[in-house]
C-alpha cells in the first residue's frame, strides 16, 4: 500500500532529549496519565484511560512503523501500530487507511472472523471508502472459504469451534450466508453484488431451502440484467420453483411461475445448446402435466362433495388449457359422468328444517296497527 504524502514528515518515538534521557510520554504528545497501559488490548475503551489527543506526527510515525512490520509479516506488531496510528488521528485519511490495514493484518494472519469484522468496521465508518472494492472482495473471499469448508466438512450449527481461527465460533454455513449478504449490502453496485446473490441462492438450494433460493435467483434476474449469471439464474430458478411445489393438494402458484419462467428462458436465450433447449421443453411439458393434474384433482374433490358445477368448471379448464395432456381425456370422462347431476348437493337435515316454517315476518308488519273491520259497520 502506498504511503500518503503526509507520512513523509516523521517523528522518532525513540528520540532523546538534549540531556540524553528518553522523552517522556507528555513530550511525545500523549495525554499525561492516559497511556500508562497503551499496549494492553482494548485499553483505550476504558473511561479512565480514554483515547489520546490527536497528534498527526505520532500517528504518521506509528503508521510507518506498522508498514515496516507488515512488510516483514509481523502481523501482530503491525496491527498494534496501526491501531495506535488510528487512535492518534481519527476521522482522517490516515485513520481510514489504518482501519483497512488492521483488517488486512487479520486477513493475512488467517484470522478470518476478526478480519471480516474489521472490514465491516471500516465500511461502517466510511460509507464511501476508497478501500471499498478491496474490502468487499476480501469479505466475499472469506464467505466463499466458509461455504466451501462447510461443503467439505459439514458441521452442526451449535458445534463450537475453539481451535481453528479461520472459522467462526459456530454456524459455518450461516456465517457464509451472512458474509454474502454483507457484500451485497455494502456495495450493491459493485462487481461482486450479483456473485454474492448467486452464492447465497446456491447455498440455499443445496440446503433444500428452495423458497429462499428462488427469492435470490429472482433478485439476480431482476436487479442485475447484465450479470454473467443470468442464464444460470434462469435455469436454477426454474428448478427452485418446481421443487417448491408440494403436490396437487397445495397451492400451484410456484408451478405457474415455473411455466412462465421456462417460456421466458426459451425466448430470451436463443443461442442455448440443443441439449438445454430439449431439456427445457421436456420440463415445460412436465410442468403442464402437473398443472393439469392439479386442476383435475380439484375438480374431483368438488365432484365427491356433490358440488358438480364447480367440478365441471375445473374439468373444463383442464380440457381448455391442457388439451394435449393425458389428464384432458380423464376430465372428459368425468364430465360425461356428471351429465344430469344436480349443481349442488341436496341440503342435509331436511327433516329438521321442515319442523320450522320458512316464514320471515316483516317486523314493520308485526308492529302495524290492525285495519278497521269495514264489513261490520
Asked, for residue 210, whether it belongs to a domain, the answer is no
Task: Based on the fold, state whether residues 115 and 103 are members of the same structural domain.
Answer: no
Which domain, by its residues, includes 156?
Answer: 110-184
pLDDT at residue 359, rounded to an integer: 54
How far apart (Å, rounded) are the C-alpha atoms in residues 180 and 211?
18
Task: Based on the fold, state whether residues 66 and 166 are members of the same structural domain.
Answer: no
Query: What is the rounded average pLDDT for all residues in the chain?
Result: 83
Instruction: Tell me the DSSP string of 284-302.
Output: HHHHHHHHHHHHHHHHHHH
β strands within the chain, DSSP E: none
Calculate mean pLDDT across residues 327-355.
77
Centroid of chain to Cα 60: 41
Q: Which of 184, 205, 226 is the last residue of a domain?
A: 184
How many domains, in total, are found in the chain?
Answer: 2
Residue 250 is classified by DSSP as S
Task: Based on the fold, state whether residues 57 and 149 are members of the same structural domain.
Answer: no
The residue that leads in pLDDT, 208 or 29, is 208
Asked, for residue 290, whether it belongs to a domain, the answer is no
Residues 247-300: tens digit of each pLDDT: 888 888 999 999 999 999 999 999 999 999 999 999 999 999 999 998 888 888
Task: Based on the fold, state whether residues 96 and 127 are members of the same structural domain.
Answer: no
| pTM assigned to the model | 0.71
Residues 111-160: tens digit of each pLDDT: 999 999 999 999 999 999 999 999 999 999 999 999 999 888 887 777 88
Q: Name the nearest CA neighbour of 35 among 102, 114, 100, 88.
A: 88
Q: Within a 10 A sphere around the Cβ of 65, how many other Cβ atoms? A: 19
Asked, for residue 164, whether it belongs to a domain, the answer is yes
pLDDT at residue 327, rounded to an integer: 86
Asked, for residue 80, whether it belongs to a domain, the answer is yes
Asked, for residue 13, whether it belongs to a domain, the answer is yes
Task: Based on the fold, state whether residues 95 and 157 are members of the same structural domain.
Answer: no
Radius of gyration of the chain (CA): 37
Asked, for residue 199, whether it belongs to a domain, the answer is no
Q: Which of 86, 108, 130 is the last residue of a domain?
A: 108
Q: Which of 108, 133, 148 is the last residue of a domain?
A: 108
Task: Based on the fold, state whether residues 16 and 94 are members of the same structural domain.
Answer: yes
Residues 165-214: tens digit of each pLDDT: 999 999 899 999 999 999 999 999 999 999 999 999 999 999 999 999 99
Calculate mean pLDDT across residues 66-75.
96
At 372, list the grid cell.
Answer: 278497521
CATH code (residue 88): 1.20.58
Residues 235-248: tens digit of each pLDDT: 999 999 999 998 88
Amino acid at each position: 500500500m502506498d504511503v500518503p504524502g503526509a507520512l513523509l514528515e516523521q517523528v522518532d518515538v525513540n528520540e532523546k532529549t538534549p540531556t540524553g534521557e528518553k522523552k517522556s510520554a507528555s513530550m511525545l504528545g500523549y495525554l499525561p496519565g492516559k497511556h500508562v497501559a497503551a499496549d494492553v488490548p482494548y485499553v483505550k475503551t476504558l473511561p479512565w484511560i480514554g483515547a489520546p489527543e490527536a497528534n498527526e506526527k505520532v500517528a504518521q510515525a506509528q503508521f510507518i512503523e506498522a508498514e515496516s512490520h507488515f512488510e516483514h509479516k509481523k502481523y501482530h506488531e503491525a496491527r498494534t501500530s496501526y491501531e495506535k496510528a488510528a487512535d492518534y488521528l481519527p476521522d482522517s485519511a490516515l485513520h481510514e487507511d489504518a482501519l483497512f490495514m488492521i483488517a488486512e493484518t487479520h486477513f493475512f494472519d488467517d484470522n478470518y472472523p476478526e478480519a471480516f469484522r474489521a472490514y465491516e468496521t471500516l465500511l461502517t465508518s466510511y460509507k464511501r471508502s476508497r478501500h471499498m472494492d478491496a474490502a468487499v472482495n476480501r469479505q466475499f473471499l472469506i464467505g466463499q472459504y466458509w461455504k466451501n469448508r462447510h461443503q467439505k466438512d459439514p458441521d452442526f450449527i451449535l458445534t463450537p469451534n475453539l481451535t481453528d481461527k479461520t472459522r467462526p465460533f459456530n454456524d459455518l454455513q450461516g456465517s457464509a450466508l451472512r458474509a454474502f449478504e454483507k457484500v451485497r449490502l455494502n456495495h450493491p453496485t459493485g462487481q461482486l453484488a450479483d456473485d454474492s446473490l448467486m452464492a447465497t441462492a446456491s447455498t440455499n438450494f443445496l440446503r433444500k431451502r428452495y423458497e429462499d433460493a428462488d427469492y435470490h435467483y429472482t433478485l439476480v434476474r431482476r436487479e442485475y440484467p447484465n450479470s454473467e449469471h443470468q442464464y444460470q439464474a434462469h435455469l436454477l430458478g426454474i428448478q427452485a420453483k418446481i421443487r417448491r411445489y408440494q403436490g396437487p393438494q397445495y397451492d400451484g402458484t410456484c408451478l405457474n411461475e415455473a411455466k412462465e419462467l421456462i417460456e421466458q428462458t426459451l425466448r430470451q436465450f436463443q443461442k442455448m445448446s440443443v441439449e438445454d433447449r430439449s431439456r427445457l421443453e421436456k420440463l415445460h411439458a412436465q410442468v403442464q402435466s402437473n398443472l393439469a393434474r392439479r386442476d383435475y384433482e380439484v375438480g374431483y374433490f368438488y365432484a365427491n362433495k356433490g358440488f358438480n358445477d364447480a367440478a365441471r368448471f375445473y374439468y373444463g379448464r383442464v380440457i381448455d388449457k391442457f388439451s394435449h395432456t393425458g389428464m384432458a381425456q380423464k376430465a372428459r370422462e368425468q364430465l360425461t359422468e356428471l351429465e344430469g347431476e344436480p349443481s349442488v348437493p341436496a341440503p342435509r337435515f331436511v327433516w329438521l328444517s321442515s319442523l320450522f316454517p320458512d316464514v320471515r315476518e316483516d317486523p314493520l308488519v308485526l308492529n302495524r296497527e290492525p285495519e278497521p273491520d269495514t264489513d261490520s259497520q
